[in-house]
């Protein structure tokens, strides 16, 4: 058993205990053990063999005994006893966002519901709303979350798959018989979620490369092992396809397997009109005399050039007008990560962040930014340790001191003070009394008091935009990918208000959010809105999520000028000032 397996078993026990309404301290001690084991650098089996397991913080004698049982027998009496009372399928229900052990216990006890299907049926039939602690709104939430859960089983976040794709491509490139390697499909188009991973390599010995790839440990299961194609599954079930082609076809194959399918259909139609054929091997002449003559194939650029088009960035290949734009030489000059000069939304220890202001600043200097803005939560968001006026003032002083220190060090890097202020249910903005003047800027955000009424939510946000109090609207639709649907909102009305009052809309770069999404970002820019791409980092390690925000912006045809994070500090400051006067 790996540490992960052990942690999973303990987590199951904790969940089942909670469903069984066991002592809260007992449940908590299991959860603490789950965290410790998940973070252990050493193998539990080794610690066990050397009798060092109880040295691990969070693991007492009784849990150590269960771990020993797990490692030796693959199961534990504790779990078996619980499973004699509660069906195992209850554990799957807990993977539905917002549906925890307490709710599971209630639906099981009152209605005998033990599977996701049964839960969905009961919610749709309105049979849950009279249960203790639930209502009509809970039913809607459960139905939405089940949809997202089902989708999550089909697709993975780009933030999860892109690093895997990059790792596999790097390994392919190291193979002596691989000439070129890239990832293709939705991953290359930087779609926010990915179905399966498509890899491509060129080689003079495809069979040899395939054989080597099929033997990689990362493939937990092989579904196909041919001489030019390998398919397998990663831990968690996600599919990976590798195709190995001849070097002369690499560009054509890359174009073909990058898709999207709709984009490729449009290209093929165009080719037909030009008496050409495009497939994964190349571009060929289609008229009678020269039929089969290869026109292009080695480089992707050549494939587009053969069709009399400039190369089209993969993010645009969604059949959303990119071929017409390319034809007219009107493709956008897409924003790039290197255009970003600052990150304006991150959390320090002043609210719910893990790092100090200075640690965040130093980490951003490393990333090559010119300046940053800290935007901690405001006081009404107590669950996130929101700042009251005193803490705002303390932070203000700390930032001033830090800026002085940076100046002494001879760097031009500066830290701005912003705040992520809650937009309250009446549309007012939660900036602590008497502190508005201290902030360089204010980000407005919705975190609580969601109403199922789209008109109400829209009115609330539009009121905040009109108030002149906020400069940026954070994660405008509130969605969490594969987990939570956006709150009902008339996004077009919000966009119109932001355009009118010159308030920027955020593209939240967290791979779980990517909110605004691509099509909304594009629409917002068309309506004359400015955008702001920010990580919303709660620790230095997530500051690099900026790239996912930029990828989403590129899918939305966004250029550098549309994004306030590409501006110099001077330009941004004067924009903030102008907005306030
Ligand atoms: P995904 O995996 O659902 O996130 O989306 P993609 O775009 O990666 O789609 P996938 O993996 O089914 O196929 C990879 C590419 O292969 C796709 O974007 C376009 C290309 N392709 C070309 N012709 C076809 C076709 O007839 N069917 C499919 N499914 N793909 C095709
Ligand atoms: Ca794919
Ligand atoms: Ca595929």
Digit-coded pLDDT (tens) for 170-185: 999 999 999 999 999 9
Tokens 């902030």 map to which residue? 439
Q: Using CA positions, which residue lies closest to atom 27 of ligand 1?
A: 261
User: Looking at the predicted structure, is the pLDDT value of residue 5 above 80?
Assistant: yes
Using an 8 Å Cβ cutoff, are 506 and 442 in contact? no
What is the token pair recorded at 328?
């007219």
Neighbours of 382 (CB within 10 A): 9
State residue 296 phi and psi, 5-degree precision: -155, 160
**Shortest CA distance to 438 belongs to which of 350, 366, 563?**
350
Dihedrals phi, psi of 199, to nearest 5 degrees: -115, 150
Element (H, E) at 496: helix 491-501
The yes or no reply on domain 157-327 and CATH 3.30.460.10 is yes
Name the nearest CA neighbour of 378 among 323, 319, 419: 419
- pLDDT over 90 for what percent of the chain? 89
Q: Is 484 helix (H, G, I), strand (E, B) or coil?
A: strand
Nearest partner of 191 among 141, 259, 123, judged by Cα: 259
User: Buried b / exposed e across 510-533, counting CB within 10 Å, b at 16+?
Assistant: bbbbbbbbbebbbebbeeebbbbb
Give the C-alpha separation, 423 to 411, whole Å: 36
195 lines ligand 1 (CB under 6 A): yes
Burial (CB < 10 A; 0-12, 13-18, 19+), residue 180, is: middle
182 alpha carbon – ligand 3 mean position (Å): 14
What lies within 8 Å, CB to CB, of 88 at 6+ separation is none
Report d(CA 137, CA 116) in Å as an integer. Answer: 18
The C-alpha atoms of residue 133 and residue 119 are separated, in whole angstroms, by 16
pLDDT at residue 368 in the model: 98
* d(CA 101, ligand 1 centre) in Å: 39
Residue 581: which pLDDT band, with cuts at 50, 70 and 90?
A: confident
pLDDT for 488? 85
Mean pLDDT of the chain: 95
Query: Beta-carbon neighbour count of residue 485 at 10 Å?
Result: 16
> Do residues 53 and 67 make contact, with C-beta atoms less than 8 angstroms apart?
yes
Q: Does the structure show a pLDDT above 80 at 152?
A: no
- The candidate with the shortest Cα–Cα distance to 345, out of 421, 426, 401, 418, is 418
From the CA of 191, which ligand is nearest? 1
The reported pLDDT for the residue numbered 322 is: 98
Can you tell me the distance from the alpha carbon of 444 to that of 450, in angstroms, rounded to the nearest whole number? 15
Given a cut of 90, whether residue 443 has pLDDT beyond it is yes
pLDDT at 460 over 90: yes
Nearest CA to ligand 1 atom 21: 261
Kindly report, residue by residue over 289-337, the tens digit of the pLDDT: 888 899 999 999 999 999 999 999 999 999 999 999 999 999 999 999 9
Question: 479 alpha carbon to ligand 1 midpoint, in Å?
Answer: 26
Q: Is the CB of 264 under 6 A from ligand 1?
A: yes
Strands (E), 16-122: none
> When comparing pLDDT for 5 and 244, which is higher?
244
Nearest residue by C-alpha to atom 24 in ligand 1: 261
User: What pTM was estimated for this model as a whole?
Assistant: 0.84
- Cα angle value 555/557/563 (rounded, 5°): 105
> Do residues 510 and 535 make contact, with C-beta atoms less than 8 angstroms apart?
yes
Element (H, E) at 276: strand 276-279
- Whether 91 and 16 have beta carbons less than 8 Å apart is answered as yes
When pLDDT is cut at 50, 70 and 90, the band that residue 521 belongs to is very high
Instruction: Give backbone dihedrals phi and psi of 416, rounded to 5 degrees, phi first.
Output: -100, 155
- pLDDT for the residue numbered 150: 85
Q: Which atom of ligand 1 is nearest to the CA of 187?
A: 8
Q: Whose CA is nearest to atom 9 of ligand 1?
A: 185
Residue ID of nearest Cα to ligand 1 atom 29: 261
Residue bearing the CA closest to ligand 1, atom 19:
259
Which ligand is in closest contact with the Cα of 189? 1
CB of 186 closer than 6 A to ligand 1?
Answer: yes
CA angle 391-396-401, nearest 5°?
A: 125
Q: What's phi and psi for 313, nearest 5 deg?
A: -55, 135
Task: Output the pLDDT for position 93.
Answer: 94
Question: What number of helices (H) and strands (E) belong to the chain?
Answer: 23, 17
CATH of domain 3-154: 1.10.150.110
* Ligand 1 pocket residue status of 198, Cβ below 6 Å: yes
Ligand 3 centre to CA of 322 (Å) is 23
CA of 24 to the centre of ligand 1 (A): 49
> Same fold for the domain at 157-327 and the one at 337-580?
no
Select from 162, 259, 264, 314 the residue to mutate for testing ligand 1; criterion: most ligand atoms less than 8 Å from CB: 259
* CATH tag, 337-580: 3.20.20.140
CB contact at 8 A, 565 and 532: yes
Q: Work out the end-to-end distance of the chain between its first and last CA atoms, rounded to an integer number of angstroms.
A: 64
The answer to whether the CB of 527 is under 6 A from ligand 1 is no
Task: Name the pLDDT band for 113 (thresholds 50, 70, 90).
Answer: very high
Ligand 2 center to 338 CA (angstroms):
27
pLDDT of residue 211: 97
Q: What is the pLDDT of residue 296?
A: 95
For the segment 37-96, what is each residue's pLDDT rounded down to a tens digit? 988 888 999 999 999 999 998 899 999 999 999 999 999 999 999 999 999 999 999 989
Q: Which residues, at least 6 apart from 526, have a Cβ–Cβ distance to it below 8 Å?
A: none
Centroid of ligand 1 to alpha carbon of 262 (angstroms): 9
By alpha-carbon position, which residue is closest to atom 31 of ligand 1? 261
For the record, the structure tokens of 89 come out as: 């399928």
- Model pLDDT, residue 149: 86
Burial of 483 (0-12, 13-18, 19+ CB in 10 A): middle
Does residue 500 register a pLDDT over 90?
A: yes
* Ligand 1 center to 265 CA (angstroms): 11
Assess contact for 232 and 261: CB atoms under 8 A.
no
State the distance from the centre of ligand 3 to the C-alpha of 215, rounded, in angstroms.
20
Whole-Å CA distances, 525 to 152, 339, 462: 30, 17, 18
**CB distance 194 to ligand 1 below 6 Å:** yes
Distance CA 232, CA 248 (A): 26
Mean pLDDT of 242-252: 98
**CA-closest residue to ligand 1 atom 10:** 185
* Ligand 1, pocket-test mutation among 160, 186, 482, most atoms within 8 A of CB: 186
Ligand 1 centroid–CA 289 distance in Å is: 33
Query: Stretch 361-380: mean pLDDT, rounded?
Result: 98
How many whole angstroms from 502 Cα to the centroid of ligand 3? 42
Q: Which of 534, 523, 460, 532 is nearest to 495 (CA)?
A: 523
**pLDDT band at residue 489 under the 50/70/90 scheme:** very high
Task: Return the ligand 1 atom nearest residue 263 CA.
Answer: 19
Cα 546 to ligand 1 centre (Å): 27
| Beta bridge partner(s), residue 156 | 194
Atom of ligand 1 nearest to the CA of 196: 2
Cβ of 408 closer than 6 Å to ligand 1, yes or no, is: no
Q: Which of 260, 261, 271 to mutate to test the pocket of ligand 1 (most atoms within 8 A of CB)?
A: 261
Pocket test for ligand 1, best of 151, 184, 185, 265 (most atoms within 8 A of CB): 185
| Domains in the chain: boundaries | 3-154, 157-327, 337-580
pLDDT at 498: 98
* Distance from C-alpha of 75 to C-alpha of 346, rounded to nearest angstrom: 43
Q: Is 51 exposed, middle or buried (0-12, 13-18, 19+ CB in 10 A)?
A: exposed
pLDDT at 165 over 80: yes
DSSP run (H or E) holding 225: strand 221-225
Q: What is the largest CA-CA distance in the chain?
A: 83
Burial of 127 (0-12, 13-18, 19+ CB in 10 A): middle
CA distance 392 to 386: 10
Query: Which has the minimum average pLDDT: 450-454, 460-464, 547-551?
Result: 450-454
As given in the structure block, the two tokens for residue 364 are: 């951003």
């Amino acid at each position: 058993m790996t540490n992960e397996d052990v942690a999973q078993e303990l987590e199951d026990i904790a969940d089942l205990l909670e469903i069984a309404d066991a002592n809260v301290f007992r449940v908590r001690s299991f959860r603490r053990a789950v965290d410790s084991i998940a973070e252990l650098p050493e193998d539990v089996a080794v610690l066990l063999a050397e009798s060092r397991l109880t040295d691990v913080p969070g693991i007492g004698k009784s849990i150590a005994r269960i771990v020993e049982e797990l490692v030796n027998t693959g199961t534990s009496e504790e779990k078996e006893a619980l499973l004699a009372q509660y069906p195992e399928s209850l554990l799957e229900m807990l993977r539905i966002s917002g549906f925890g052990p307490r709710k599971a216990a209630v639906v099981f006890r009152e209605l005998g519901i033990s599977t996701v299907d049964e839960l969905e049926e009961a919610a749709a039939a309105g049979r849950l709303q009279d249960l203790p602690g639930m209502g009509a709104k809970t039913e809607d939430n459960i139905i939405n979350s089940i949809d997202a859960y089902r989708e999550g089983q089909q697709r993975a976040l780009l933030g999860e798959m892109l690093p895997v794709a990059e790792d596999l491509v790097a390994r392919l490139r190291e193979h002596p018989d691989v000439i070129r390697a890239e990832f293709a499909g939705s991953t290359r188009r930087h779609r926010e979620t990915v179905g399966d991973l498509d890899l491509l390599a060129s080689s003079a010995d495809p069979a040899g490369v395939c054989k080597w790839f099929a033997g990689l440990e990362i493939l937990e299961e092989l579904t196909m092992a041919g001489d030019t194609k390998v398919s397998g599954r990663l831990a968690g079930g996600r599919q990976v396809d590798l195709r190995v082609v001849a070097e002369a076809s690499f560009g054509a194959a890359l174009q073909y397997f990058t898709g999207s399918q709709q984009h490729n259909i449009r290209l093929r139609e165009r080719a037909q009109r030009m008496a050409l054929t495009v497939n994964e091997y190349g571009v060929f002449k289609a008229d009678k005399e020269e039929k089969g003559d290869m026109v292009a194939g080695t480089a992707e650029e050549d494939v587009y050039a053969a069709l009399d088009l400039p190369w089209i960035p993969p993010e645009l290949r969604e059949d959303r007008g990119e071929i017409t734009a390319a034809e007219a030489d009107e493709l956008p000059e897409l924003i790039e990560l290197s255009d970003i000069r600052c990150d304006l939304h991150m959390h320090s220890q002043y609210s719910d962040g893990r790092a100090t202001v200075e640690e965040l600043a130093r980490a951003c200097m490393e990333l090559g930014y010119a300046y940053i803005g800290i935007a901690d939560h405001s006081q009404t968001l107590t669950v996130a340790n929101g700042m009251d006026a005193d803490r705002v003032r303390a932070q203000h002083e700390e930032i001033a001191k830090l800026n002085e220190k940076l100046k002494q060090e001879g760097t031009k890097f500066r830290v701005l003070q912003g705040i992520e202020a809650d937009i309250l249910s009446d549309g007012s903005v939660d900036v602590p009394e008497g502190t508005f003047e201290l902030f360089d800027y204010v980000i407005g955000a919705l975190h609580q008091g969601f109403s199922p009424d789209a008109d109400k939510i829209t009115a609330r946000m539009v009121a905040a935009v009109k108030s002149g109090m906020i400069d940026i609207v954070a994660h405008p639709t509130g969605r969490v990918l594969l987990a939570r649907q956006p709150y009902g909102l008339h996004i077009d009305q919000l966009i119109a208000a932001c355009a009118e009052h010159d308030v920027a809309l955020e593209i939240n770069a967290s791979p779980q959010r990517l909110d605004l999404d691509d099509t909304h970002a594009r629409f917002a820019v068309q309506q004359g809105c400015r955008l702001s791409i920010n990580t919303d980092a709660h620790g230095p390690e997530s500051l690099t999520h900026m790239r996912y925000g930029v990828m989403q912006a590129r899918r939305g045809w966004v250029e550098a000028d549309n994004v306030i994070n590409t501006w110099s500090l001077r330009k941004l400051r004067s924009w903030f000032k102008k907005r306030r006067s």
